[in-house]
Amino acid sequence: MPAPSALKRITDTTWELPVSYKPGMLVPARIFATEKLITAMDAGVFDQVSNVACLPGIQKYAFCMPDGHWGYGFPIGGLAAMDPETGVISPGGIGFDINCGMRLVLTNLTEEEVKPRLRELVDALFYRVPAGVGSHGFVSLSHDEFCTVAEQGSRWCLKRGFAWPEDLEMTEEGGCFPGADASKISHKAIDRGYNQIGTLGSGNHYLEIQVARPENIYNEELARAFGITIPNQVVIMFHCGSRGFGHQVATDYLQLFLSVMERKYGITVNDRELACAPFRSREGQDYFAAMKCAVNMAFANRQVILHRIREVFSDNFGRDPADLGMEMVYDVAHNTAKLETHMVDGRRRELLIHRKGATRAFGPGMEGLPERYRETGQPVIIGGSMETGSYLLAGEPGGSETFFTTAHGSGRTMSRHQAKKMVRGQKLQRDMEERGIYVRTASWGGLAEESGRAYKDIDDVAEATERAHLSRRVVRLLPIGNVKG
């Protein structure tokens, strides 16, 4: 479907829908994409990003990243900054899988060393990191202890021996959003989440063994700073979030917001999926505290998964994980709302930043970065499909226009239902193995849903991201082994 006639090209990679495009728009809507990507973008993106531009308290623009596609409420790839005093908070601007995010881990092993053991490694990871719908983790928790995890995040993991101290430093916000309050989450949410710590889940979640080949390094200085120091170095990347717990938190508060939004606060929205409440209201603050619980659960989930990965590599190679160089590069979220301070019209302002399928990408020197990355900017991870590879990037110095936010993945081009009609999971597994990628999956249908043809070209998205000055490419990482939910 062609882009709206009102869409104007601002630069090679910036497109704008003016406030006249739709009644009620308070700010323009901006989409970052090359002409190739904007032409292929589904119509839902334009409708949804312009709906976001109508939300009370929105500042500057409603944004969509180069991987943008239709989502729930916001487009996936959506970004909106709200004035905390006059603006709203919306679960549709955060997502159901709260703090779905990416973690990248180094090794000092080469592809040549790993290849002979690849099947054993992937099989062991498939066994040790449960994947698929309803999977349960090995960490046994009471409901009360789960609430402690939800308030402490990765700090709880450190106390329990599932983390190294430096892991927390290499995690966004130290692996814990302060202000989480377990009294604001429902018993149903707790019941859905308390046994899922250390599990991958389903959908587009994955755990992947990857290779950084010399010909795929875009910036050697940044690659070295991020720990990519040897030819054909093997790394591990994984993508998952807060599982059923985060989904229930979002569901609970969407229902609450729908009941009070218009009746109590006089707010109307173009789409019920954008149900919201004033950020400073009791309902808004309760959701913010509950959302942080889901954020922290997801950090703990990824941390326990890392612990299991280290166990698998240590057992397989007969060496300590530290001796294998299994340090974190970074862990960054892409489904959150956060209070951050940014420059707006020449002055520093506190803003509530909704990132839905969009990743924080702080530039060099910014407060909140680990000391190790003060000069380089934040590592950014853009995950591709299991067939094509992923990217490690760095935050841009000049990323202030988008409140230092970038893309999060390659972005879907077709529904899961369409993908399953076009692809057979068993054949896809055989084809991938012939191309040197060994994959284990919890579901043939789930594998088919995640085939490469269901996604945009990751190279196109990464190139557009760099050309739009959202983040800088560092290295393209190629998959050789994959565990799929």
Q: What CATH number does the domain containing 428 carry?
A: 3.90.1860.10
pLDDT of residue 421: 76
Distance CA 346, CA 124 (A): 53
The DSSP call for residue 3 is: P
Residues 6+ apart with CB under 8 A from 392: 104, 223, 226, 228, 329, 379, 380, 381, 474, 475, 477
Q: Which phi and psi angles does 409 have, rounded to 5°?
A: -170, -165
Distance CA 246, CA 430 (A): 34
pLDDT of residue 99: 98
**Residue positions in the annotated binding site?**
97, 204-208, 239, 334-335, 383-386, 390, 408-411, 484
Q: Could you tell me the CA-to-CA distances from 454 to 382, 384, 408, 479 in Å, in that order?
A: 16, 11, 16, 17
Confidence of residue 202 (pLDDT cuts 50, 70, 90): confident
**Residue positions in the annotated binding site for Mn(2+)?**
97, 205, 239, 334
pLDDT of residue 1: 58
Distance of CA 224 to the CA centre of its chain: 24
Distance CA 171, CA 218 (A): 24
Q: Could you tell me the CA-to-CA distances from 139 to 78, 122, 193, 201, 321 in Å, in that order?
A: 34, 21, 12, 15, 20
pLDDT of residue 315: 98
pLDDT of residue 393: 98
140 pLDDT more than 80: yes
Higher pLDDT among residues 421 and 305, named by residue: 305
Looking at the DSSP bridge assignments, the partners of residue 278 are: 88
276 pLDDT more than 70: yes
71 pLDDT more than 70: yes
Residue 94 lies in a domain: no
Give the pairing of strands 101-110 and 438-441.
unpaired
Residue 361 lies in a domain: yes
414 pLDDT more than 70: no
Quote helix, strand, coil % in the chain, to nearest 5: 40, 25, 35
Confidence of residue 454 (pLDDT cuts 50, 70, 90): low
Average model confidence (pLDDT) for the chain? Answer: 94
pLDDT of residue 181: 98
- SS3 of residue 457 by DSSP: coil
Residue 89 lies in a domain: no
Residue 90 lies in a domain: no
Residue 264 lies in a domain: no
Q: Give the mean pLDDT of 245-250.
A: 98
Number of domains in the chain: 1
- SS3 of residue 472 by DSSP: strand
Contact 284, 89 (CB under 8 A): yes
> Of the residues 69, 408, 417, 469, which is catalytic?
408
- Residue 133 structure tokens: 């719908």
413 pLDDT more than 80: no
408 is catalytic: yes
pLDDT of residue 484: 86
Q: Going edge to edge, which strands form the sheet with 335-344?
A: 8-11, 14-17, 29-32, 58-69, 76-82, 347-356, 335-344
In this prediction, what percent of the chain has a pLDDT beyond 90?
A: 85
The DSSP call for residue 323 is: T
**Of 473, 377, 479, the residue nearest 435 (C-alpha):** 479
201 pLDDT more than 80: yes
Q: Could you tell me the CA-to-CA distances from 456 to 37, 388, 408 in Å, in that order?
A: 8, 10, 12
Residue 47 lies in a domain: no
Q: Domain of 219?
A: 101-253+272-484
Helix 143-152 and helix 282-317, axial crossing angle in degrees, nearest 10: 100
pLDDT digits (tens, 9 = 90+) for 251-271: 999 999 999 999 999 999 999
**Residue positions in the annotated binding site for GMP?**
204-208, 334-335, 383-386, 390, 408-411, 484
- SS3 of residue 278 by DSSP: strand
**Of 185, 103, 115, the residue nearest 150 (C-alpha):** 185
Contact 101, 230 (CB under 8 A): no
Minimum mean pLDDT range among 319-328, 368-377, 429-438: 429-438
Looking at the DSSP bridge assignments, the partners of residue 359 are: 406
**Of 60, 95, 90, the residue nearest 77 (C-alpha):** 95
Higher pLDDT among residues 15 and 418, named by residue: 15
Residues 6+ apart with CB under 8 A from 173: 368
Residue 119 lies in a domain: yes
Minimum mean pLDDT range among 54-63, 136-145, 230-239: 136-145
Residue 478 lies in a domain: yes
pLDDT of residue 455: 73
pLDDT of residue 436: 86
pLDDT of residue 8: 98
